[in-house]
Structure 1
């Protein structure tokens, strides 16, 4: 149906998100089989205004829940801003579920390192400071991850970076703004293990971010039903051996009209330099945004999403989709669903 986003029933109960992502992250179950862990303190207070947690740890803290080894569905009983003095590392089988509250991270971000089955939902990331500081850093060797309905802006490095053989990831319904190097997929040409990377990005709004929506090395990336506007360098970049399938997205240019960029680099285990490849299918180009040239070479081995997952919720790129994405991406003021597993 025109103007409808996917996942219209994942808020029907608390754990309905588990295993429901579309695309490469579709197997992510988060803390489905664990207890509900309630974050009750963000620095020893429950004020709804500004709450700063520089070093806070211990029972009831988010850091304590994220480090535990058992599966957990983490929810928040308080709202506020968590100023992270160091990265918040997340262990396997965790859901960090911000529905029902308003949680904003500043300072540093989340680190998903050598973990699997992570769901991150309905959080804000803003004002990350320091060298190599990302909003959500996914490396190394992490997999089965779903990032949904998060708002990210103004970090010193990336908003989301996916590198070092991390794979099977979906990013959906997120809002990106006020940033330069938005999303890097694939670390650099020496990390040839990144050939395993597979990422789906759909129903996201890139609102005036300058570049890397995303930039890809080596990996396979499926982009569909995203809205990217007012970039300053390019919208999407394909570099060494990457394969990008851009399907029914909306690209609206400002002064810079180049939508797709192609960078040539040499993989560490190859003799010749190579660029990446992009297929653009059903995309809408507005305000002079330039489509892919028909002369761009496409490898015969270019992947198709249907080789990896049978269905995905997609509509034609049109103005009604653009209007919906302006309203329905990023953090949402929704009520936290009831945990039906407890009731049953």
Structure 2
């Protein structure tokens, strides 16, 4: 009997270890064999103003809220939960979305007051319904491997001042919302859905394999920065603008900066409607259809990016327009490439006025030379930050 008990306890211990093991997020591929490997001292003034702002601080754990001073681009005014207390998530569960338990992410993210939300350990959070994050919240996963996966994911609806940092968001699916949800119906299965919201900053996240988009911003959302994130293994990556007919997106302003659009991506990096989009210092690798697309006369300023086409001769073009009236309409849209590097036959089709005042008016930040992106392995996605060390 004692031998049987010993074996049972051993198997229970092993199975528990596997149950609570948290898989690591994927690591970005190098640009080529000539690119240097990712440095552990990547905080060292590499020209990325966000990372240079906080990553060299060995006491970043005690100075977490300094991150709120580091945003760039159109979302730079987002302060998240800087004015609030810290809240530590200790429970990865989501048993009662209508009445969330203290200690859960849902409980913290739905509170009325500002909060800076952190985590006490590695965890995978499988939500039962999409989590509608309230205004003035920071969800800060630095120092832990925090994943939101295998269920509905994050929604920002009629909110402002939200920072989402260092989360691995993947395998998101639609789900029916409860009767008290202000949105009703079903969630879309996006990684992060943004509706009628402003002053949003998404930084150092890894996103892949969601049912719909990885990040979508629609219905009059504006002043958004998406930075330092790693996106891979997905079809329709990022939709910015609800529909061609929805004029409320004409004032949308989004900055896409320092991201890595990696393997297995097909299209919409992003797909834009109506508004103003500054696409700066990103790396695009081997898209399967197109990289940057749009309709309904968006202004797109592509600056200092690296576009690496695949060997497929039919997918060399970076851009794609959708216009019911054909070429004569889209030729008037202001789409400009400045300082971009085109690799393996990639090409960007410009349109509109080369020197339109709209580019200067809606230039949201200073671009680095694209050549710098090819000499240093990109430090994107979820960071492996250790306590009491530079991140």
TM-score above 0.5, yes or no:
yes
| Shift of residue 137, structure 1, vs aligned partner | 0.3
Partner residue in 2 for 1:94: 137
| Shift of residue 148, structure 1, vs aligned partner | 0.3
Bigger drift between 256-265 and 191-200 goes to 256-265
The verdict on how the C-alpha distance between 1:259 and 1:333 changes in structure 2, with shifts beyond 3 A counting, is same
CA distance in structure 2 between the aligned counterparts of 1:36 and 1:183, rounded to whole angstroms: 31
Partner residue in 2 for 1:240: 296
Q: Does 1:331 align with 2:371?
A: no
| Shift of residue 308, structure 1, vs aligned partner | 6.1
Partner residue in 2 for 1:49: none
Structure 2 runs not aligned, ≥5 long: 1-43, 58-62, 175-186
State the secondary structure of the residue aligned to 2:155: strand
Counterpart contact for 2:204–2:381, Cα < 8 Å = yes
State the secondary structure of the residue aligned to 2:164: strand
The verdict on how the C-alpha distance between 1:301 and 1:154 changes in structure 2, with shifts beyond 3 A counting, is same
Whichever of the two has the greater Rg, that structure is 2
Work out the number of aligned pairs and report it.
Answer: 317
The verdict on how the C-alpha distance between 1:305 and 1:176 changes in structure 2, with shifts beyond 3 A counting, is farther
| Shift of residue 42, structure 1, vs aligned partner | 0.8
Q: Does 1:225 align with 2:284?
A: no
CA distance in structure 1 between the aligned counterparts of 2:234 and 2:193, rounded to whole angstroms: 16
What TM-score do you get using the length of structure 2 for normalisation? 0.76
Q: Deviations over 1:72-109 (max 9, x none)?
A: 00000121111112111100000000001111111111
The verdict on how the C-alpha distance between 1:228 and 1:277 changes in structure 2, with shifts beyond 3 A counting, is same
| Shift of residue 134, structure 1, vs aligned partner | 0.4
Q: Does 1:195 align with 2:250?
A: yes
Counterpart contact for 2:253–2:276, Cα < 8 Å = yes
State the secondary structure of the residue aligned to 1:64: helix
Question: In the alignment, which of 167, 177, 185 is matched to residue 240 of structure 2?
Answer: 185
Q: Deviations over 1:6-51 (max 9, x none)?
A: 22132442101114211100100000110001101113xxxxxxxx
Question: In the alignment, which of 338, 342, 346 is matched to residue 281 of structure 1?
Answer: 338
- Tell me how large the CA RMSD over aligned residues is: 2.3
1:108-127 equivalent positions in 2, closer than 5 A = 108-127=152-171
Question: In the alignment, which of 74, 78, 82 is matched to residue 28 of structure 1?
Answer: 78
State the secondary structure of the residue aligned to 2:231: strand
Bigger drift between 26-35 and 79-88 goes to 79-88
Q: Deviations over 1:128-182 (max 9, x none)?
A: 123721000000x200011000000000100000100000000110000000000
